[in-house]
Structure 1
Amino acid sequence: MPEDPLKALSDQASEAHTKIQQAHQQINPVVAIRRGLRDSGIPADVMTIDCLRTRRRIMLVLHDKELGTLLYQFLSLDENPGDDFQRKSLSEVNTDTLFSWMQSYFSDETQNKQSGTRP
């Protein structure tokens, strides 16, 4: 029986969280799993990875209609998700993928580039 994709993604996020904290003490992501969509009739699970210091969020969605695919968006904490999710095969997502996303998206360099303070 194949492993539950939400559990596998959760385990990978937990490992990536540990790695990011070891490598970048200033990045302290908060990982949350939200099953509220299912409660409202939408067949999907959502995981968010937030960085409160940079006010950025990585949203990961596992939708039953797109089995084997991870839908994801990079947002600010103040934004509502749109319909423009990127897609990646779950087989291509691992701890290193999540670590890389957290490292690049939650770093000061990313925020400074987007605010125009660095070239």
Structure 2
Amino acid sequence: MCPGLCSPIFLFLVWGAHWGLITAESPVTAQFGGDVTLSCLFLSQPGMNIQRLTVTWQKERAGAEALVVHSHYYGKDQLGRQDEGYRNRTQLDPEALAQGNASLTLRGVRTQDEGVYRCHVTSELGTTSEMSTLQ
């Protein structure tokens, strides 16, 4: 009926390219008061319009709405909804965004930073979500 097009590998690649993948990283260990980088990689290509890129980092909370840790869209950081506990402590590398890297640097790690973080990226190539556990 659809030779080659219905194979599991083809369907997975199409799903991954258009609908995104959710992956979980190994736990990240941080020193109290130090800096840590939470990894978030997404599909990119040369000449991709990063002005249309949306990056949101959130900290998951059991039984409550996730905290906004960092947001970036329209080509710049959008921190109006950032949780107060993360103000002036987060950073994305704008040059790395063009290379498919939305990793977040968190400065001055506190004990209350421990937990699960989700990076959600939407671009012209699709959507990706990655989770990182900070210990």
For Structure 1 versus Structure 2, the TM-score category normalised by the shorter chain is 0.3 to 0.5
Higher-helix-fraction structure: 1
> What is the TM-score of this pair, normalised by structure 1?
0.33
The structure whose Rg is larger is 2
> What is the TM-score of this pair, normalised by structure 2?
0.30
Q: Relative contact order, CA 8 A, sep 6+: which one is greater?
A: 2
Higher-strand-fraction structure: 2
